[in-house]
Amino acid sequence: MVDDMLAHLSSLRDQPAWREMPPSVRAAFDGGAPRAGIGAAAAYEAFVRDVLPYPNGNLHPRFFGWVQGNGTPLGMMADMLAAGLDPHLAGFNHAPALVERQVLDWLAALMGMPGASGLLVSGGTMASTLGLAVARVAKARDLGFDARELGMQQWTDLPSHPPLVFYGSVETHGWARKAAELLGLGNRAFRRVPVDAQYRLDIAALERALDEDRASGLTPFCVVGTAGTVNTGASDDLAALAALCRREKLWFHVDGAFGALAYLSESLRPLVAGLDQADSLGFDLHKWGYLPFECACVLVRDPAIHTGAFATTASYLAGTTRGVIAGGLPFADRGIELTRGFKALKVWMSFMADGVDKLVRMIEQNVEQTRYLVARIEASEDLELLAPAPLNIVCFRYAPPRAHESDLNALNESILVLLQERGIAVPSGTTLGRRFAIRVANTNHRTRREDLDTLVRGVLEIGRELGDGR
C-alpha cells in the first residue's frame, strides 16, 4: 500500500488532471454490504482497480479548482502514524496532546496572536462557525443574558432581548449562512454588505447598516472580515474593520480559510494587514498549508472567553492531578466535539521537517505564478481578465473580439467542462457581474509555469475549436 501510494504521488504529472469513471466502475459501487468478507488482498485490489485511478484530481499540478489541498508524502505518512497510534484528542495526559498544544502555540504566534486559545478542526466552515459561536456567547453576556442557558429563544417568564445580527460582505463564504442557521440566529441575522470595485467589504455601507439596524431595534454583535474571498481572492480592509469593531464594541472574526496564511510572508502580509487584531480567526492548513485533508484551525484571542463558550463538566470526565486524565480535557472544552483525532501530527511533522520558511516560499511562489498567469491573459487579445487578482485567484474568460457578448457565458462553460473532461487541467467556474468566469485558484505546490502555459493553451485551442460561440 505504501509503495503504491508513493508511486501514485510520484507519477502525478504523467496522469490526466482528471478522468471520468466508466459505467463499469460506477456499477461496482451499487451493491449491498458484503455478508462474508473477500479478504484484505482482494479488498485492496478493488481499491487499486476502482478507486485509485479516479480521484477528483486535487493532487495534480494542473488542478486549480475551488480551493483544495494537494497533500504531501510526509503528510500522508503522518496520517498513517496518527491512525496507528489512534489517540483520543479530547485532551488526556499523553504525548499527542502535547503535540497539539505545541502546534496551536506555534500557529497562534505565527498568526500574530501569541497566547491565543485554539483548536484544530475539520475545515474552514467549522473553524469560523466555532468563532461565531464564541462571539454569540460573549456578546450575549455583555447584553445581560446567558446564550448557553437560554439559547436564542424568547422565554415567556423572562424579559425579551433584541435579535442579534452579524455582518459580512456579499462575498463571504457560505459557511456564514449555515452557521447562522445552526446557531439559532437564522439566516435573516446574517446581514450582507455590498462590496467595492475591488470586491472588498464597503465599510461606509457597513456603518450605514449598523445605524439602520440599531434604529430598527436589532443588536449588532459581530463583523466577519475575509482574508482571501473565494471568488476573487480579495481581502477586506481588516485593519479598518478591526478599528470599527473596537469603536462599536463588536466582535471581530476573520475568515482566513486560505488567505490568512499570506500573513506568514513579509511581502504578502500587507494584503491581510489587520488580521492579527481579530478576536477570532479561522483558517485551513489543508489549503495553502499543503497538508492532506482534514486540518483547519480556529484561534480565539481570549482563552477564558473561548472555554467559557463550550466547557462542560461531567463526573465521568473529571480531571485528576495524576494518571491518564490528569489535566482534564482541554480540547473538548474549546469546541463541540469530545471525540477528536490526531490532526496535529501532520502539522507538527511537516513544520519540524521543512520549517516555516519553506512554507512561506511555496506560498510566495503560488502568488508569483498567479501574476504570471495574469500577464499571459492580458497579453492575449482573445482572453479577458474579469476581476483583480491580488492574491492567488484569477478569474478570466475566453472573449475574442469577434465573439458576441451573449454567447460568451455558454462558450466559457463549455471550455471549462472540456478542459476537465480531456484531463488538461481542472479550474472551476464562477459568475461575476453576470459574466461566467473560468476560475483558477493556485494553492498547488506542484504547479510550475509550464502548467499555467498548458492551461492557457488549452483554453485558446478549445475556444477556437468551438467556433467562438457562434
Q: List pLDDT tens digits, range 404-428.
A: 999 999 999 999 999 999 999 999 9
- Pairing mode of beta strands 190-193, 164-169: parallel
pLDDT category, 442, cuts 50, 70, 90?
very high
Q: 335-371: per-residue pLDDT in tens?
A: 999 999 999 999 999 999 999 999 999 999 999 999 9
pLDDT of residue 468: 57
Dihedral sign, Cα of residue 410, residue 413, residue 419, residue 425 = positive
The topology (CATH level 3) of 364-465 is Aspartate Aminotransferase, domain 1 (3.90.1150)
CA distance 84 to 318: 27
Strand partners, 224: 253
pLDDT of residue 316: 76
pLDDT of residue 326: 86
pLDDT at 469 over 70: no
Domain with CATH 3.90.1150.10 in the chain: 364-465
pLDDT at 394 over 80: yes
Q: 278-298: per-residue pLDDT in tens?
A: 999 999 999 999 999 999 999
- Judge if the upstream peptide bond of residue 181 is cis by omega within 30 degrees of 0: no
Residue 404's alpha-carbon distances to 63, 137, 266, 456, in angstroms, are: 30, 53, 44, 21
Domain with CATH 3.40.640.10 in the chain: 87-354
Q: 196-234: per-residue pLDDT in tens?
A: 999 999 999 999 999 999 999 999 999 999 999 999 999
Specify whether the CB–CB gap between 244 and 211 falls below 8 A: no
pLDDT of residue 75: 97
Strand partners, 383: 398
pLDDT of residue 314: 79
Mean pLDDT of the chain: 95
pLDDT category, 243, cuts 50, 70, 90?
very high
pLDDT at 330 over 80: yes
Average pLDDT over residues 37-65: 95
The topology (CATH level 3) of 87-354 is Aspartate Aminotransferase; domain 2 (3.40.640)
Q: 161-179: per-residue pLDDT in tens?
A: 889 999 999 999 999 999 9
Place of cell 483554453: 459
